[in-house]
Amino acid sequence: MGMDIIVLVVDWVHLTDIAPDDRLKVLQESAYEDDESDDAVDAGWVWPAEPDRAWLGRYEFGGTLGSYKPHFWAAQAWEDVRNEAGTALRTALDEFLKALIWWGPEVDTDAEHVDTGIFPSTDGLWRPGPLIARGPQTVAGLNRCWQEAAPAMPHLRAPYARHAACPGRWIADFEEFTELLSGWAEVVGEAQRRQWGLIGLPI
């Protein structure tokens, strides 16, 4: 089995009202519950019907089947094409992707995708894999980054075809790259609208 991920927007007031040592457990138990509407949603939002789970929503990335691999390959594609981006676009997408799925320009540096103070420890993760936890303040900054990046994204089409396209791989072309990033922008935008945070849990 490969790495999978479940991506959520989370009411940060509710999450931080939970005792710090219990947050990860409560979050996982709430996130992993089966939703009756799961089979009907291939892409987009799933909002739990249960009142006691109204503090979170799940986003399904279309065409990924819940796998983390497309996110990994989108990060790799950005690594391959970022030197062809203009300074403003490169700066904005660097910040956006480094906070979510990219390891940054230093290849020997592990990416840290968790804001401090959210979980005292990640030892309680049910499954190993990518963990993302970004609070409302970080989300607001990410939303600004995307608003700066989005208008310039079309300028990457030709450089992407030359340097990052890889038919047959996850994120094979520019359209798949922009579709995945637009999914993250949707998650960030919804979290920003609600003044919530976002969480990515390994599944």
Judge residue 200's burial from the number of C-beta atoms within 10 Å of its C-beta, 0-12 exposed, 13-18 middle, 19 or more buried. buried
What percent of the residues of the chain are helix, what percent strand, and what percent coil, each to the nearest 5? 50, 15, 35
Would you tell me how many other CB atoms lie within 10 Å of the CB of residue 50?
10
CA 137 to chain centre: 16
Which DSSP letter does residue 58 get? E
At residue 60, the 3 state secondary structure works out as: strand
Query: The pTM is what?
Result: 0.93
Q: What is the mean pLDDT of the chain?
A: 92
Taking only the tens place, the pLDDT of each residue in 49-107 is 899 999 999 999 999 999 999 999 999 999 999 999 999 999 999 999 999 999 888 76
Instruction: Give CA–CA dist 4/194, Å, rounded.
Output: 26
Q: How many helices (H) and strands (E) does the chain have?
A: 7, 5
Per-residue pLDDT tens, the chain, 203 aa: give them.
468 999 999 999 999 999 999 999 999 999 987 655 545 578 899 999 899 999 999 999 999 999 999 999 999 999 999 999 999 999 999 999 999 999 888 765 555 799 999 999 989 999 888 899 999 999 999 999 999 999 999 999 999 999 999 998 899 999 999 999 999 999 999 999 999 999 999 98
Instruction: Give CA–CA dist 84/164, Å, rounded.
Output: 11
Instruction: Give CA–CA dist 187/193, Å, rounded.
Output: 10
CA 128 to chain centre: 17
Q: What is the residue extent of each domain of the chain? A: 5-202
pLDDT of residue 13: 97
At residue 132, the 3 state secondary structure works out as: strand
Q: Concatenated DSSP letters for 146-197?
A: HHHHGGGGGGGHHHHHHHT--TTSSS-SHHHHHHHHHHHHHHHHHHHHHT-E
